[in-house]
Amino acid sequence: MPERTPSLAVGVLAWKAKEPVVHTSRPKITHAPAIVPIRHGGPHAVLACGSVAELGKNAAAMTGAALYSAALWSMDKATEDAIVALIESYERIVVVEEHLRAGGFGSFVRECLESRPDLQARVRCLSIDEKVCGMVGSQSYLRSHGGLTTEAILRSLLASEKTLSLARDAA
């Protein structure tokens, strides 16, 4: 039996027209899991779903945080395990997605941590505010009005550092 070749459609669905490419090399097409490192750093990380990785890239570079892109064509046990392992590796993870909060990627990340209450406080989720529902505009306009900006990611990363510093000082 001939080896199956991944469909080109898998790669095409990963990007929208005219969006910046954030990977420094051509991503390897796999079936799952797909948590792709874009920038190394720490002790915090940004986990971005989709094209908002570009916003995460800017914020991560400004703060020294790591950046990962989640290509989610499968939300299976392997992906869940990869997400838990990633969260175990950092003091704080800011999950960024271009969807509404309810039922989105951030919700999936939190579900992955149901059996790991020790990791739940490490995660902060940023998504589009529901006030943009019914609005018409460009992607950048809706992101801006929905509160999904580089500045919002920066605030989450910096607030995380301040919170962690205060906790260390109190101990």
Structure tokens at 169: 């000082």
Q: Quick check: is 109 in a domain?
A: yes
Please indicate, yes or no, if residue 13 is contained in any of the structural domains: no
For 77-135, write each residue's pLDDT tens digit: 888 888 999 999 999 999 998 888 888 888 889 999 999 999 999 999 988 888 888 88
CATH number at residue 46: 3.40.50.920
**Is residue 3 one of the residues assigned to a domain?**
no
Please give the Cα distance from 53 to 165 (Å, whole number).
27
Query: Does a structural domain hold residue 101?
Result: yes
Segments forming the whole domain that contains residue 115: 33-170
- Tell me the whole-structure pTM to 2 decimals: 0.72
CA–CA separation, 71 vs 11, rounded Å? 10
- Determine the number of helices (DSSP H) and then strands (DSSP E) in the chain: 7, 5
Q: Map residue 82 onto helix, strand or coil.
A: helix
How many CB atoms sit inside 10 A of residue 98's CB? 22
The token duo for 33 is 């899991």
Q: Do the domain assignments include residue 24?
A: no
* Count of domains forming the chain: 1
